[in-house]
Structure 1
Amino acid sequence: MKLNYIALMISGILLFSVTSCKKDLQDTNQNPNASQNAQPDYLLTAATKSTADTYWGTANNMDASLLFVQHWAKIQYTDPDRYIFSNSAFQELWTTGYSKSIVNLNQIIKIGDEQSNPNYKGVALVLRSWVFQLLTDAYGNIPYKQAASIDEYLTPAYDTQKDVYFSLLDDLKAAQAALDPAGKAISGDVLYGNNIALWKKFANSLRIRIALRIADREPERAKQVFAEIQAEGGLLISSNSETAQLVYLDSPNQNPISNLFDTRDDYRISKTIVDKLFALNDPRLPVYASKTKDPTDKTYVGIPNGLLVGDASNLGFTRTSKPGTYFLAPHAPAVIISYAEVLFDRAEAAARGFTVENAADLYLQAIRASLTQYGTADSEINTYLASPAIQYGASNFRKSIGEQKWIALFGQGLEAFAEWRRLDYPQLQPAVAGTLNGKIPQRFIYPGTEQSLNADSYKAAVTNQGADLLTTKLWFDVN
């Protein structure tokens, strides 16, 4: 994956920025020294990196979803770990998603049509579907149909989560059909370096992810997705080398986690996942957690989620474990969808009767893929796979797949949060000093700006979906 041009491209990127009620800015606040006709390669790099940075960064990952799923915990400034948020806390995903990512990707789709290059259009549809998936997974009902035409719809209506997911399945099916490995080349692709065959696999892998999102509500539609992909040739991500991920470079284009840990020390690995990895004798423990700075009995020490500030700091900065050095490295990848996740998805589809594959075999393949992803030796993998504690339980696929998928998704906070809500495993305990009456958040609250800038649409969404609270369950979350 050729990323040596990312720094050059980022330095010249033109980001198309919009807000819900600031159309005049789009028309008049233009830089006379910059081109107003951005090229698709610059837009593609910009949209990919801005989304990956937000997806893997502080506001949505480290200060929210990683805490909710108890991969990470806070040892200082513990309010987010106790579920205390302002109405601007979840602004970044919304703002970046709409004003940078989707705007740029919509422009690429338009340029692809103008230049008769379906590969630009297909790639942009795949990435746009991922952005919309992140948004609806987090908030629920969101603007989708009218989000493509901000000039026409300054206060876009919200679509139901069901309609968004169904539309994304249509978009990804269209993208997969449009993408042509023998067609025109594209530039600016910092994920797959113009390997269109891998983009087709990426598109289908997102399709099965979304199919399982709707599986508890719309099982027949979900099953249909798997049948369609099979009829089209069944192309899915099929090795760790095909994982969809952005591999970061040196500063200033390093991984956002690496950038944060250069200057801050207020995050630790959660006791919940450390205890689980110890109990399973899981070889990913030294990858996911760093050794304590001062020697301790266990070497790897997590902290409980949601402690009061004093209680957390009393555990000792040098006697508790930071996340593993793998995740703190400047070049650590922002994983969008891994080979292991695809195998877990195939296992679940088989368990649900959507396919005729062997769920138990795919489950073990998924665990192997996750361990291999982090360089675990074959001998350790074989020992782990033989452990009675991790054997597939056909009577409760949610537990087997949910717990191992939770481990495999370490670091991917938004995805792990969605899967934990959907599968209901592992069965997590709320934050020690949580503020939600013994509950764990079930969604992001809408940004406060939506209440003031898009009030009518916001109110209609809340009326349809339920109160704009952290504890309101979304449509896909049945149990």
Structure 2
Amino acid sequence: MMKKLLIPTYLLFAIVLLASCRKDLERINKNPNEPVTVQPDYLLSNGIKANVDTYWGPDAAMDGTLLYVQYWSKIQYTDADRYIAGATGTQNVWSNFYAQGIEDFTTLAQLGDSLHNPNYKAVAVIMRSWIFQQLTDLYGDVPYKQAGQIAQYLTPVYDSQKDVYTGLLDELKQAAATITPGSNNIDGDILLGGDVTRWKQFANGLRIRIALRIADREPTIAKTVFDEVTAGGAGALLPKDAVVKLNYLASPNQNPVGRNRETRNDYRISKSIVDKLKALNDPRLSIYATMPKDTNVIIGVTNGLPSDSAARLGFSKTSDAGAVFTATTAPAVLFSYAEQLFILAEAAQRGLVAGDPLTLYNQAIAASFVQYGLSEAAAAVYAVQPGVAYDALNFKKSIGEQKWLALFGQGIEGFTEWRRLDYPQLKAAYAGALGGSMPVRFKYPSSEQALNGTNYKAAVARQGADLLTTKLWFDKY
């Protein structure tokens, strides 16, 4: 027979007292200025700013895609311009987009559900989809379905690029459908000012962008997307001359390009784009490039020069990118009416959407001119030149070259469209490190090999060697 364990009264009193003290201490140590539940408006503002900074900043753009697609070049520290990619930059792009982007917008989508505000959820899904699009455009196969759920998936599986793109198309379609204009207001929207109709148009713009991205591989899916979007009528897409852009402010909320220019001066406009703009008598030249202090002519720098050769060209004798991109308050463009029209022009040429490709192409050029303060009349004169006039028999050349010019400053998008269309036909960096080849992707960061090795190896086995020269799935030709 077991004996009952008797606890002295004084010990019971001590236990109760300690439990009470613990609760009091927890209550006292709570900081009223640090809420345990994040506010959706703060999460939205920070998420937009942090991820647009990554997209427009030094690692993804200035030392990466802006050089690869020959918008910019370097006059100092030219390794990046010679395709010698720094491990830190590659890691930063990956880590920032996943940790500051996918995680934050996944949380915001969950908050939208808990707050019964479908607009917060829709905006979160649209921004998260935009980030995933940047990631897969750069790296190829990436963690997608298991991403943003670190408590459940510490080492997420990589999804194929096809599955990422088609998954994003479904998510964006659902987000656009659940937006409710006129109710469920959202705060903290520093991108589109709480205009949920504009968010819906942005979502649809991303849908047709991705549909065209996969058109060489999955034309049937692409056609379905264009049918669905255009069925929504004129209001489904951006109105004339609208631009989805983040308007930067003074320091510390300045443009990351402007922040970079505060302490260094190692970038120049590429000779490739200067030569093309000059050959076409393109009035955007004086907007895209600055006039050097010591000359009366805009001079670009050849991509991939050795550092000593580049430095000898002289800072005051070569052209930097224009203030419209480098000023402290210069905006970062995510999607524009001009890009939308180029998408529709190509889709019309491919039979994916109704419309006249020539008319849409000319309207796209005009929209790009207007975006930079030039007139439609000037665009009409420009568009009839032999080097600009639309060629339906080689639409990839016409659209590829003019879209490249229109996307100047949008490094990732310009780089992706150049890979897809194969125009303009650029020459590899002068002293490039890839044996005369050009980069067609970013390499995975070394952290993935160390921390997610099994899934990393599976992705490489499926996609191809983890090299700058390995073509991605969408890049068929």
TM-score, reference length from structure 1: 0.92
Q: Does 1:251 align with 2:251?
A: yes
- Aligned residue runs from structure 1 range 319-334, under 5 A: 319-334=317-332
The AA in structure 2 aligned to 1:49 is K
Q: What are the ranges of 5 or more consecutive residues in structure 2 without an aligned counterpart?
A: 1-28
Write the distance in 2 (CA, Å) between the matches of 1:293 and 1:372: 28
1:150-186 residue CA offsets vs partner (Å, 9 max, x unmatched): 1000000000000000000000000000111122100
Match of 2:19 in 1: none
The AA in structure 2 aligned to 1:93 is V
Match of 1:403 in 2: 401
Please give the secondary structure, in 1, of the residue aligned with 2:370.
helix
Please give the secondary structure, in 2, of the residue aligned with 1:337.
strand
Deviation at 1:386, TM superposition (A): 2.9
**CA distance 1:86–1:331, shift in 2 (3 Å):** closer
Write the distance in 1 (CA, Å) between the matches of 2:404 and 2:176: 28
The AA in structure 2 aligned to 1:36 is V
Write the distance in 2 (CA, Å) between the matches of 1:43 and 1:126: 14
Write the distance in 1 (CA, Å) between the matches of 2:426 and 2:183: 48
Q: Does 1:336 align with 2:300?
A: no
Write the distance in 1 (CA, Å) between the matches of 2:245 and 2:187: 17
Match of 1:24 in 2: none
Match of 1:374 in 2: 372
Match of 2:87 in 1: 87
Match of 1:70 in 2: 70
Match of 1:425 in 2: 423
Say if 1:87 and 1:445, in contact at 8 Å, map to a contact too. no
Write the distance in 1 (CA, Å) between the matches of 2:378 and 2:338: 17
Match of 1:353 in 2: 351
Deviation at 1:31, TM superposition (A): 10
- Aligned residue runs from structure 1 range 139-288, under 5 A: 139-233=139-233, 235-240=236-241, 242-288=242-288
1:57-105 residue CA offsets vs partner (Å, 9 max, x unmatched): 1011010100000000000000000001243331122111111111110
Deviation at 1:143, TM superposition (A): 0.4
Write the distance in 1 (CA, Å) between the matches of 2:363 and 2:253: 33
Write the distance in 1 (CA, Å) between the matches of 2:130 and 2:86: 26
Write the distance in 2 (CA, Å) between the matches of 1:131 and 1:326: 24
Please give the secondary structure, in 1, of the residue aligned with 2:246.
strand
Q: Does 1:448 align with 2:449?
A: no
Say if 1:255 and 1:332, in contact at 8 Å, map to a contact too. yes
Say if 2:440 and 2:470, in contact at 8 Å, map to a contact too. yes
Write the distance in 2 (CA, Å) between the matches of 1:322 and 1:243: 24
Say if 2:45 and 2:188, in contact at 8 Å, map to a contact too. yes
Match of 1:463 in 2: 461
Deviation at 1:378, TM superposition (A): 4.2
Q: What are the ranges of 5 or more consecutive residues in structure 1 without an aligned counterpart?
A: 1-29
Say if 2:323 and 2:330, in contact at 8 Å, map to a contact too. no
Q: CA RMSD in A?
A: 1.3
The AA in structure 2 aligned to 1:88 is T
Please give the secondary structure, in 2, of the residue aligned with 1:245.
strand
Aligned residues: 447
The AA in structure 2 aligned to 1:72 is W
Match of 1:122 in 2: 122
1:44-63 residue CA offsets vs partner (Å, 9 max, x unmatched): 11110111101001011010
Write the distance in 2 (CA, Å) between the matches of 1:118 and 1:370: 34
Match of 1:388 in 2: 386
Match of 1:98 in 2: 98
The AA in structure 1 aligned to 2:385 is S
Please give the secondary structure, in 2, of the residue aligned with 1:436.
coil
Write the distance in 1 (CA, Å) between the matches of 2:430 and 2:214: 32
Write the distance in 2 (CA, Å) between the matches of 1:75 and 1:356: 46
Write the distance in 1 (CA, Å) between the matches of 2:79 and 2:96: 24
- Aligned residue runs from structure 1 range 307-326, under 5 A: 307-326=305-324
Deviation at 1:315, TM superposition (A): 1.1
Deviation at 1:377, TM superposition (A): 3.3
TM-score, reference length from structure 2: 0.92
Write the distance in 1 (CA, Å) between the matches of 2:150 and 2:326: 38
Say if 1:88 and 1:448, in contact at 8 Å, map to a contact too. no
Match of 2:25 in 1: none
Match of 1:134 in 2: 134
Deviation at 1:262, TM superposition (A): 1.2
Please give the secondary structure, in 1, of the residue aligned with 2:142.
coil
1:315-335 residue CA offsets vs partner (Å, 9 max, x unmatched): 111110011122121111100
Match of 2:36 in 1: 36
In our comparison, the structure showing a higher alpha carbon Rg is: 2
Please give the secondary structure, in 2, of the residue aligned with 1:327.
helix
Write the distance in 2 (CA, Å) between the matches of 1:421 and 1:123: 29
The AA in structure 2 aligned to 1:39 is Q
Deviation at 1:34, TM superposition (A): 2.5
Match of 1:7 in 2: none
**CA distance 1:158–1:350, shift in 2 (3 Å):** same
**CA distance 1:421–1:286, shift in 2 (3 Å):** same
